[in-house]
Amino acid sequence: MTASSPEAPLAQRLAAVHHQIAEAAAEAGRDPAGVTLIAVAKTFPAEAVAEALAAGQRHFGENRVQEGMAKYPALRERHPDLVLHLIGPLQTNKVKQAVAHFDVIHTVDRESLAQELAKEFGKSGRRLPCFVQVNTGEEPQKAGCAPRDADAFIATCRALDLPIVGLMCIPPADEEPAPHFALLNKIAKRNGLTQLSMGMSGDFDTAVMLGATHVRVGSAIFGGRSYAPAA
């Protein structure tokens, strides 16, 4: 591991994460430009996001709609190229706000949500790229469609004309992530999907080796969180 210490300045930690992505990409014979680093800023204040913006970071992730709405409008005025990713579970009654405030949705995982998103894209004229979340570990407490239902669910989303660009997963915390990343890659390939949102602070290099196009990294950039919002 080449990640710098938690006391290092944010810009330095960000550079260390980029370095690790480049090393993993090189090892896998991939172009590091094919990996988008999403800085997950949940629980951290707008000032921390501003610091990351100053260091050149543009993609950010939040797992709560409310937190995204509160933190980013002012930052976007100064940085219109900021890209905000919703990486947490989305309730159908928050779809309207999510579509208005976010740029990419990583957590499409059930038909009722797919329908609501399709409706809101039609109404608002904002058609956001979407990832289907797959619960690769089949954990009952976790969001995401079951791996065996993924092909049918992707077809359902396509029939609703949702712009599905790829798949997303959060492997079980107590298991080797690699088989989960490999499974996600396999499901994506057989469905003709090219983007994979996988890998967090502890395993993003493994994810890059296994084809991640989007890694979602929080604590390795912003430091430890005082509480962990529900995934």
Ligand X SMILES: *Cc1c(COP(=O)(O)O)cnc(C)c1O
Q: C-beta of 133: minimal distance to ligand X in Å?
A: 9
Residue closer to ligand X (CB basis): 36 or 63 = 63
Backbone angles phi, psi at 105, to 5 degrees: -115, 125
User: Is 30 a residue that touches ligand X (CB under 6 A)?
Assistant: no
The C-alpha atoms of residue 90 and residue 63 are separated, in whole angstroms, by 9
* Closest CB 218 distance from ligand X, rounded Å: 3
Please identify, using beta-carbon distances, which residue of 42 and 59 lies nearer to ligand X: 42
Kindly report the CA angle at 82 between 223 and 135, in degrees rounded to 5? 65
152/133 Cα distance (integer angstroms):
13
Of 83 and 160, CB closest to ligand X: 83
Residue with tokens 């395993």: 203
Quote the CA–CA distance of 99 and 152 in Å, as a whole number: 24
Residues 198-217 that bind ligand X (CB under 6 A): 200-202, 216-217
**Candidates 23-31, 121-129, 152-160, 195-203 — which segment interacts with ligand X by CB under 6 A?**
195-203
Q: Report the distance separating Cα 38 and Cα 134, nearest Å.
A: 19
Q: What are the residues binding ligand X (CB under 6 A)?
A: 40, 42, 63, 87-88, 170, 200-202, 216-220, 231
